[in-house]
Homo-oligomer: A and B are copies of this chain.
Amino acid sequence: MPQLEASRIVLASRPKGKPTAENFRTETILLPAPGPGEILVKALYLSVDPYMRGRMSEAKSYVPPYEIGGVVGGGAVAEVVESGDDSFQPGDVVSGQFGWQTHALVPAKHLRKIDPSLAPMTASLGLLGVTGLTAYFGLIDICSPQPNETVVVSGAAGAVGMTVGQIAKILGCRVVGIAGSDEKVQYLTDKLGFDEAINYKTTDNLTKALKHVCPQGIDIYFDNVGGEISDAVFRSLNTGARISVCGQIALYNLEQPDVGPRLLTQVLIHRALVKGFIISDYAARFPEGVKQLAKWYHDGQLKFEETIAEGFDQTVDAFLDLFSGANLGKQIVRV
């Protein structure tokens, strides 16, 4: 039986605080030819995402933890090399959740064929995949945006954040982004049509800066970040504000629970709604989301941006860079 040499990145140890290269190990394995119902794929693009940090911890969380010695899981785009199932042919481009490996043997039912003529194939990892769906349902279902409301997005130059802001603009909202560099701020206002954007790293008093650019207060907050940025946003909430808690990247790497102002007082005073979510909560509605996102994309109303690292051996570095805020939009690795 022919065998294929594949590389894969496994979790060597659980990070304490910020992950380092030592938490990962690259292994080489031999993959047999696919059995019935199995597909042998060659990875083209891998996704690296902030939520993966959560799965590297042992603690109970919103996604189950990775196992030590197991492949780091996540979304990927691949090409079929050899197929044990009639519905896939060699050369088909597919997406799946097989994680950080150059090749994988995957049950056919875990793969989805994608049509690269509809959108760039990496869109299935981003705008038309988990990223876009997270932005779509987290904003629309939890926050019910209304025209002329003020929407603030943290982590605004990340893949989810920039999609949230653009959707809010499409829906007629006033949109303010918070990001971590002047380049990102300029990108959000010049290229994506955000009304305002703030570089929190060069802003002395974020509370004051937000009050300045949100003179009518904040109706909706889409939170990718947490920590002091969220504290500042909560100080300008309007009555009836809605807050979608999508990520807390500022806190993922802390070894101790972080301390800050108690936010329930603001929740009470402003009769606010705060909701944490995970995109799988909306699985039954994915087709609705993909359809709307694809329509906006083809109408030119919704752009997406990727930062692509070149080479499978760059995967760990690309992941570690997420926590320094280096990426603009979706971080992807071209294998």
Contact = CB atoms under 8 A, between A and B. Distances in A.
Contact of A268 (B264, B265, B276): B276
A261 B257 contact: yes
B281 A230 contact: no
A277 B272 CA distance: 7
A66 to B, nearest CB: 16
Interface in A264-305: 264-265, 267-278, 281
Contact of A265 (B239, B246, B257, B265): B257
B227 A247 contact: no
| Size class of the contact patch on chain A | 35 or more
B263 A60 contact: no
B267 A276 contact: yes
A42 to B, nearest CB: 35
B267 A274 contact: yes
Contact of A264 (B248, B265, B271): B248
Contact of A251 (B265, B270, B273): B265
15 contacts: A54-B269, A60-B269, A62-B239, A226-B264, A230-B264, A248-B264, A248-B265, A248-B268, A257-B262, A262-B263, A264-B274, A271-B275, A272-B276, A273-B274, A273-B275
Given A230-B262, A258-B261, 5 more contacts: A62-B239, A245-B268, A258-B262, A269-B276, A272-B276
Interface of A: 54, 60-62, 223, 226-227, 230, 239, 245-248, 251, 257-265, 267-278, 281
